[in-house]
Chains A and B, each alone.
Chain A
Amino acid sequence: MAIARDASSPTTSTAGNLSSNGTTSSGTSASFTPPSGSWITITAFVDSTGGALTWSPTTTLTGVSFTQIANQVNASGGGAVALRGFVSSSSTGTVSLSVNNGGASGQLVGAFWVDVWTGAATSQTGAASNSGTSASSNFNGTVTTTATGSQVVGVACDDDGSNTPSSTDTFDEANAGSHADGLRVYKASNSGAPGSVNVNFQATTAPIWSWIAFELLAPTTTTPTGWARPLATHPGRSPGLGARFYQSPKALNAAVSSNVAVALTGQSATFTAGTLTPNTDIALTGQSSTGTAGTLLPSLAKALSGQTGTFTAGTVTPASAVALTGQTGTLSPGTLTASLAIALSGQSATGSTGVLTPNIALALNGQTATFTAGLLAPSTNAALSGQSGTFTAGLLTPSTDTALSGISALFSAGTVTPSAGGDVVVALTGVTATFTAGVLIPSGADITALPGPLDWPPDRIADTAFRRKKKRRQREIEPPAQPVDPIRVGAIGAIPIPPAKTYDFRSLAELSGKSVEAFRAEIDQEIARLLAEQQERDDEEALTLILAALDD
């Protein structure tokens, strides 16, 4: 364990903490609790008269006493001191420090630091120190360390008192009014092999220094060369050598519980006692390592260069999007779910039994499609070119306004219901006639008598031929005298009509003893004949009128 300044160290005000009564300067630290086995150092500076100084530390900590390391004054009156004390058991207390120059007047203010250090050797016998003076604004004092891993601490007093001192090392400074300023410094890291170690002190304006640098020894390091030998030997004889020796188990245990220094070729290293945890990311160049039995968890993203890996049985879950370059993969039985949108280039795919739902808008080029039995619901607006369709039995509801060109329509038996209030178009061979819904009014020329009043309205003459007649005079049909029996209607013949009764066309047909169709045909024939006769009369009348006009 390296030597380190412990967090339990009390702090010192930058305004200083040594006050003066004129002949003696003194002060007391804040209370603190240093850990057992630590070292306490006191470093101080004070402005005095230039004579020798006597420093007197005291403490309320249990079992702690202080030894002076170095004491330095300069001709200007600045003095510095360093002391140390070992903490054998932890306790809480304060440290007080007083200094005087033998009672002479002129003893003034200063400051002192109390630092707690852990990791240092329990004995500091032989630790080096050095001290001196200087008038340089930037200088290095040195101490030559005596052991590996030492910490070096320094303190300096600038008797000029006008500066805020500093250092390139870790430091704390204080300025005791205008009488003196100073600082305590220590190295950021422990030293290596024994040798010269600098501590730096700086002040900008005409400093006059007293300085001290001292070593804190690290625990003694031991190379345990006897570990490979048997721990238990006969106390009086060495096997094969005949020399008497004792190997102390107590000493060996002490070595194990402290730091261990191991020499690698050309290097020196110090390890603290504990557990060695190898870093698997670091290879020892030129060395072979033997691992204990266990589990190797390879990273799938890393290959062991030049090595062969053996994997235990298990399941490989391939990523379908990742191919192993140049490798053949064997997949366990399972289900392959192909994407219909993705073709496997150069491969044939076998689909499992199921339902194929084709898109009727898409043709499989060069392929034959087989459709399962079901319903084909064709669109009546779409024809399957070059195909014949088979329609199931059902109802065909043609549009009465639409003719199927070149096709004859076959109507089933039923009822033709003319549009109420509209015209009825009936196709006679080569003739087109339109009849309004209602009552058929026959031509009066051939009706000799009617058995009763007809309810045909005088403005509902259905015959188009009558409409072409200009200035046609409406004939009033007088109800016949009753009874009239029989009546004659044109060529139809006599129809016995009961008196005072209104007849429709169907009733008249029944009365004539004929079917409606036959009766209608006869009526139509009679009407045609009457129309032809009327046409002749009209033509003669027109000719007469034309001739008369010509005569006029």
Chain B
Amino acid sequence: MTTVSVLPTATYPAGIHNFGPIAVPTAIVSIEIDIARCTTADLTIWPNAGDTIAMDMELSMDGGVTYSSLASSLDRGGIEVRTKTGQEVPTTFVQTGLAAGTNRMLKGSITLSAAIKTSATVTVS
């Protein structure tokens, strides 16, 4: 499992922030993208419930010629607490499997509805 930072912690302006495309090694079967949420530890990160962050990942099986949707999400800011555990949710994430292939490319985008302070990482395994 390898985790890389694709968006360091910073305040990003509203709009679309792309990443990739990056080659996906054959051994990689799963990918996960995590976006930092607001917690009591850092109330400056994505604090407003009215602000949204949309994430989209696309996978190419032909070396980047064509892409198709791999996973996507849309979430609101503010502190979230799991009902069952009572713990704050540190990140919102989507993890998905990757179809097998030898010429795979991955790209994605993060869209902010407002200027938001956050960070993003990608984890592959």
Residues of A within 8 A of B (CB): 76, 128, 130-142, 144, 159-162, 178-179, 195-196, 198, 205-206, 208
Contacts and interface: CB of A to CB of B under 8 A. Distances in A.
Given A132-B94, A135-B89, A162 B69 contact: no
Contacts of B32: 132-133
Interface string B66-106: 00111111111000111111000101111111010000000
Contact of A144 (B68, B72, B80, B89): B68
A206 B83 contact: yes
B95 A134 contact: yes
Contacts of B94: 132-136, 139, 141
Contact of B97 (A130, A161, A162): A130
A182 to B, nearest CB: 14
Nearest to A161: B84
B95 A140 contact: no
Contact of A132 (B30, B69, B92): B30
A251 B81 CA distance: 61
Contacts of A206: 80-83, 89
Interface of B: 30, 32, 55, 59, 68-76, 80-85, 89, 91-97, 99
A138 B71 CA distance: 11
Nearest to A47: B84
A135 B59 CA distance: 21
A130 B69 CA distance: 13
A128 B99 contact: yes
A415 B82 CA distance: 140
Contacts of B74: 136-139
A162 B32 CA distance: 24
B69 A140 contact: yes
Nearest to A74: B95
A549 to B, nearest CB: 148
A161 B83 contact: yes
Contacts of B59: 196
B83 A205 contact: yes
B70 A142 contact: yes
B95 to A, nearest CB: 4
A139 B72 contact: yes
A138 B73 contact: yes
* 3 A-B pairs with the lowest CB-CB distances in the bound complex, closest first: A196-B68, A136-B73, A162-B83
5 contacts: A128-B99, A136-B74, A137-B74, A140-B69, A162-B84
A132 B84 CA distance: 21
Contact of B96 (A141, A162, A179): A141
A137 B75 contact: yes
Nearest to B90: A135
Contacts of A140: 69, 71-73
A375 B32 CA distance: 120
